[in-house]
Each structure stands twice: as C-alpha cells, then as structure tokens.
Amino acid sequence: MTYSKKIQGLVQALTLEEKVGMIHGNSLFATKGVPRLGIPPLVMSDGPMGVRMDFQPDQWVPAGNDADYVSYLPSGSALASTWNRSLAWEAGRVLGEETRGRGKDVILGPSVNIKRSPLCGRNFEYMSEDPYLAGEQTAPMIRGIQEADVAACVKHFAVNNQETERLYVEAELSDRALRELYLPAFEKAVKEGKSYTLMGAYNKIKGEHCCESQFLLDEILRGEWGYDGVVISDWGAVHNTEKAAACSLDVEMSVTNDFDQYKMADPLLAAVKEGRIREEQIDEKVKRVLLLMERLHMLEGDRKKGCYNTPEHRETAKAAAEEAVVLLKNEGNRLPLKEKKIKKMLVIGENAVHVHSCGGGSAEIKALYEITPLMGLKMYLGGNVQVDYTPGYYVPSAQETQSASWQETSLENGGGQTRDTEMLGTEESQKRREALEEALRLAADERYEEVLFVGGLNHDFDSEGQDRKDMKLPYGQDEVIRKLLEIRPDMTVVMHAGSPVEMEEWADQVSALVWLWYSGMEGGTALAEVLFGVVNPSGHLPETFPKYCEDCPSHSIGEFPGDDTVRHKEEIYVGYRYYQTQGKKPRFCFGHGLSYTTFSYEEVQVSREKEIEVSLKVKNTGSRKGKELIQLYIHPVDNGADRPVQELKGYEKIELDCGEEKNVTFTLSEESFARYDEKRKAFVTEPGRYEIWLGESCEKILAKAEVRIG
C-alpha cells in the first residue's frame, strides 16, 4: 500500500505515545486526536437504524442532549425484505447524512451476519440467511453512507451468529461453510461496497478471537481481498496485546473507562519499549487510520456537513417501510380492506401501540417520532372511521429506554443469556385474563365491521446480549389469537417482530396475515397504506419462517447455542438450502411474499458469450399496479458434488402497470455456479448441466431454463 506524502510526514512527526493514542479508545466512542498536528479524534456512533443518542465520554449514561433525536430507519431485516438495492442505497445515504449532521465520523453498521438460527437476539439487525441477498443489500447501503464523508463499519467479522456466550464461544465450522455462507457478504461489502471500516467480532474461529486472528484479518481480509481500510474491534473484544498488535487490527474499543489500560494502550507502549512489538507495526495501523481520515476529508476543510431529521429523510424511511411489509396470507382476497364499508374498527394487541425505537441494545435510538400501527391507522382513516383499541394481552413491563449499562453488564456475563417467553406471577396472570376477556367482549360486538390483531415481539426478546429461548409468542398471544378467531374468523393478523415466531396454533385458521418488521418511524403509516391498498405490498421474506424451532437445522442437530464451542454440523445447509434440499416444508419459505396483483413469466432465453445472460418477459396480469420480485436460483442437474438443491444468484424488482410487460435480464458468470473445494482450497465450477430457476420465492418457481458449463 502506498500512502500519501502527507500521511508519511504525519507518521514521522508523531511520537510513539501519540501513535498509540490514535489506535485505542480515549472515550467510549472516540480515539485520541493530536491537535498539534491537526489530527482530530475519530468519533463513532452505534447504528444502523439511526444514529444513537450521545453518551457521556466516560460512562454509559446519556449526555442529556436535546438535539440528538434522529430519523428512525427500518431494521436490517426490513431493508433486506424490500429486496431493493436502490432503497438500501437511499437508507444508507440518510444514515450517512445524519451521522455527519451529528458530528460523527464512523457509523457502526450495517450488520451482515448470517441468520443461522431464528433465536439469535440480533437477527432483527441482520439482513438474511442467504449470503447473496445480504451482500447485495449491504454493498449499496455502504456506498450510500459513505457519500456523506462518513465511514460505514460493516460488522461483525465473522461467524457471529448468536448472543449466548458471544464473548468466548468458538465457532467450529468447515472451510466450505465459512467460504460459501459466512464470508461472502463481507467480501462484497469490502470489494463492492468499499467499506472504509470493518468491525471484528467477539467470538473465536480456529482457536483465535476474531480481533486477534491472523487467519481472518491478515490471510483473508488483507491478503485475499486486498482490504486497506481500518479494522475496529467490537467493544471489549481484544484480549491479548501482542496478538492484537501482530495482526491487522487497527483500533481497539471497549466498554470500560480505564482507557489507558486497554490492551492497545499502556500495555502496548510497554511492549514496544521492551522490544516485544516493533514500532513499525504500530505505524501501519496509524497509517490506515490517517488514510481513513483522508478519505473522509477530516484533515482538510472541505468536508460535507451533513443534516438530520429532514423531510427527505422521513420520505426515505417511509418508502423503505412500505416495501418491507410482507403479505404472508390473503385467502379469498381478504385484503385490501375497503374503507367505505367500515364505520367502526377494533384494533387489539399491545404491539399496536408499542414504541420499538428505544430498545434492542446498541441499536436503540432517540427517534424524532415513531408512528405505531394504531397511530398509522387513525391518521389514515381520519374521522371517517371510529378506531377503538384494547391491548388484548398483558405485557408485564412496558418497554422503556434501556439503561446503557446493559453494555457493561453483557460483557460481565459473557452475553450468555436467553429470554423466557413465560414468567408470570399470580397478579400478572390475573391481568392477562382481564385483558383477554375485554378483547373477547369487544370483538363480539358486531358493530365493529373490522377487527385487527397486532402482536409479535418487542425488544425484550429481539435484543443484543441475549438469545430467545424458543420461537413461541410471548404474553399468551397464541391463546388470544385463537379465541379471537373463534369469534371473528375474518380477523386480520399483523405480526410486528424482528425474527420468526411460531404460528402453528392459528396460522391455518387466519385468512389474512401481514408481517411488519421493526419498520422505523413511518412503520405505522406503511402498514395502514398496505392494509387499505394505497400501497401494493411487495416485501418478500429474506429468511425462512419454520413451523417449529426444532425444524431449523442448527436446532434439529442440537447445535444451538452450544457450550464453549458451537459446532456448525449442518455445514452449508442453513435456511432454505436445508429445507429445499431435505424436502421439509416450513411455515413460510425464503423469498415468499404476496401482492394484490398477479404476474406471469414468459419467453425465457439463455445466451452465452463471455458471460451467461438470462432474459425473460414479465407481465402484470392483474388489476392493480404492483412491484414484482423476480428471484433467480441455480440448480445443479447432474453435478455429483454435495450441493443444495438451489442457491440464490440474482434478483430484480420491477414495477408494472396493469397489463404492462417488461423484459428483465440477469447476467451470470461461471463463478455463479461455483462451490468451495476444501482440497483445492479454492472455488471451483464443476462442468455439467445446471438449471436456471426463476420465481417469486424459493418454492414458487414459474419458469426454468438449462445451461451447460464446461
């Protein structure tokens, strides 16, 4: 790597103490600057659903800043559910501009870890179970962030797929699983997203903590991928001074306020002075930090200023929320609802009024506002429809803004927590019965033309620092839904959550089922507009929704969450790769999502020159304008290798008026058909026949074509 003369001159002018100060936290979210040389501190903020509130420099206590309210964006799961690269870029642009507007340099996101289990507490932050989809949505988001002279920090590198014992657990997996599933999204973030920074994970791989791993950071990240950005540790993820200094970790951050005692602080100074570490190793880290500052124009006077809470940002949040809503069931065209036929509407479920922005761990933010489902419905319907509400189920402790001390606590207990869905005392049981009885009484009132249930999870369950114990709905919601359906079989159910829940007690009885993720400040608006047909739903699941937790491959073999070691014995068969290959039917498959209109695929053609082009004609055959998601999977026909039945290798989302048709083209290379060969230590493309499957989900394939490789 060749550095500018300015960087080389600054490194020569820095003292050893100043260099070390630049590569570890000097406060909870910033490194130390060198004012005499015009080098500012590097200031960071949690994300990526919005810029987190300000904290006091040396303790996890809010700074009390009245000006740190920000736009609240849909979660990573929601953005992935849009399957829209342009929206990912727009969301990134908002996040970058607001990060700059708040005076920060690095936003800690996006999060791209693969969803190995539905129980992972941070799944709501992550994109997908599929590496291709995760990478394709992440790369444009990073580019959008960095348009604002802000660094994205893609995280958590790598195989950080659970919260239980996350600080010390060893992820034991084959090189094939690592290369095919857990690394590709990071590689795309680095090579195509050009992420300026990357966060190392807590866990171990091959016996080394990720932030001290020469295998991950030197061999793969720097060596194979040619990464020249800054590697930042997760907070408290460094354990050994010499190992951290010897590998390509650049900046150590942590959760305690003894900043001089961080492993890359005074202990590093002592190691250099004693000759255990060469100063040249420190110089390389400092050079990369200075290169980052150069890229962000921090060493000059022409840096972008940013902005936050603008009308344009709110419009982006709304657009993303609209495309994230997934219509899971719509038997008999139950939806959209017809406003003119409704005079009174009953909304049941505590999640109709729950505010989600202020929880979830490091993803919590101070939202400028958050439109809940009930607010969204009332705002949309105005005074034309009477909208009444009852909670239906009792939540023992209403979600409050979390004390930031959870961050230190989670390190003390190793993150080894699971959250039970049922912990009830006598008083709570009584309140639950009362809430249910009131809901049943109101639902029986025939003057309500429509009854809507809004349930799901909240950040008592979807949260950093803990995994869920099971997929069950908390607070007795299954009983509530089941009994309500006995009275109102036409009731529409909305699940408001960041990760899958078990729905087997009632899913077959409900005719209309809508999935609303943690969809940001405009989530309630988006839901109302989808329910009443102003917006035609176009969200598709970025992960499989199993019927039961034990159906999930990591659980069926008893390898989640593990003990000191979590063994990935399912290998590459995660998510739909497992369900489709084994012929196991989930509740809702990967890629599933319904629309209020219909589409047809025709005239599929495959042509080959240097690359493989797949083209088809897509037509809107229904009565409404809508957006269609065309998913492309490859299927090996006569390849003898151990491979999944199908793998996602392309997708395009298009909008069509009634009767309109468009040509859609996909471009594939031979690498699109490759698998990782552990003996050759490389990706190889086996010669033979492959089918191209085109469809609306991994199960609903509407067209096929064949191509021969080799």
Which positions are annotated as active-site residues?
234
In sequence order, the 6+-apart residues with CB closer than 8 A to the CB of 245 are: 264, 268, 271, 277, 281, 282
Q: Which residues pair with 691 in a beta bridge?
A: 635, 706
User: Using CA atoms, how far apart are residues 352 and 496, in angstroms rounded to an integer?
Assistant: 8
Q: Which two three-digit tokens encode residue 35?
A: 């004012």
Give just the sign of the alpha carbon dihedral 578, 540, 372, 332: negative
Q: Tokens 């995660």 — which residue?
A: 574
Q: Which helix (H) or strand (E) holds 243?
A: helix 241-246
CA 130 to chain centre: 12
Report DSSP letters for 348-400, one per residue. Answer: E-GGGT---TT-SSTT---BS----HHHHHHHHHTTSSEEEEE--S--SS---
8 Å CB contact between 628 and 653? yes
User: Using CA atoms, how far apart are residues 552 and 70, in angstroms rounded to an integer?
Assistant: 37
Give the three-class secondary structure for 465. Answer: coil
Helices (H), 37-130: 76-82, 85-101
User: Using CA atoms, how far apart are residues 649 and 692, in angstroms rounded to an integer?
Assistant: 10
Q: Which residues pair with 636 in a beta bridge?
A: 690
| 483 secondary structure, DSSP code | H
User: Using CA atoms, how far apart are residues 286 and 15, in angstroms rounded to an integer?
Assistant: 11
Q: Which helix (H) or strand (E) holds 151?
A: strand 151-157
Name the nearest CA neighbour of 158 among 180, 191, 132. 180
8 Å CB contact between 515 and 500? no
Q: Which two three-digit tokens encode residue 298?
A: 């921090």
User: Using CA atoms, how far apart are residues 377 and 527, in angstroms rounded to an integer?
Assistant: 8
Q: Which residues pair with 345 in a beta bridge?
A: 387, 450
8 Å CB contact between 566 and 559? yes
User: Using CA atoms, how far apart are residues 657 and 625, in angstroms rounded to an integer?
Assistant: 4
Q: Which two three-digit tokens encode residue 389?
A: 């509400």
User: Using CA atoms, how far apart are residues 119 and 123, in angstroms rounded to an integer?
Assistant: 8
Q: Which two three-digit tokens encode residue 119?
A: 């129980």
In sequence order, the 6+-apart residues with CB closer than 8 A to the CB of 279 are: 16, 19, 272
Q: Tokens 């890229």 — which residue?
A: 295
